[in-house]
Amino acid sequence: MQAREVDDVVEPGGDVAAVPDLFGVNVETARKQLTDAGFVVSVDAQSKDRINKENPTFFTLYPNTQDGQVISQSLPAKSYQKRGAVIAIAYYKAK
Is 60 in contact with 74 (CB distance < 8 Å)? no
- Record the pTM: 0.83
Per-residue pLDDT at 21: 98
Predicted local confidence at residue 19, as pLDDT: 97
pLDDT, tens digit, for every residue of 9-68? 445 557 999 999 999 999 999 999 999 999 999 999 999 999 999 999 999 999 999 999
Which pLDDT tens digit goes with each residue over 64-80? 999 999 999 999 999 99
- pLDDT at position 12 is 57
